[in-house]
Amino acid sequence: MEPAYAKVGSKGELYLPKKIRKKLGFEPNKRIVYHVIKNKLEVEKVPDVVELLKKPKFASVTPDEFEDWSEKWQNEIFGKEREKKKK
């Protein structure tokens, strides 16, 4: 694809040219995420629930397994924060 040029808006808005929006499937009111990698900007779509449900499954987890993992992760993340608040 040929390079495309655009301007940054007065409030810092980034305006993607239409041909890029179409090629990447960026639609109005859809969420995107920005990453800065080695001084370059990377932009990608955040998939919505419908798009995620259409993707092939890659794992099988029972509700009990999920609950166990969830409790473990919450203790790892929030357990440390709770200890800090107690001090």
Distance, CA of 75 to CA of 69 (rounded, Å)? 10
Distance, CA of 49 to CA of 7 (rounded, Å)? 32
40 or 82, which is more confident? 40
3-state secondary structure of 14: strand
What's the confidence (pLDDT) of residue 20?
Answer: 92
**Is residue 32 pLDDT above 80, yes or no?**
yes
Enumerate the domain spans of the chain.
51-86
Residue pLDDT, tens place only, 37-72: 999 999 999 888 888 888 888 788 889 999 999 999
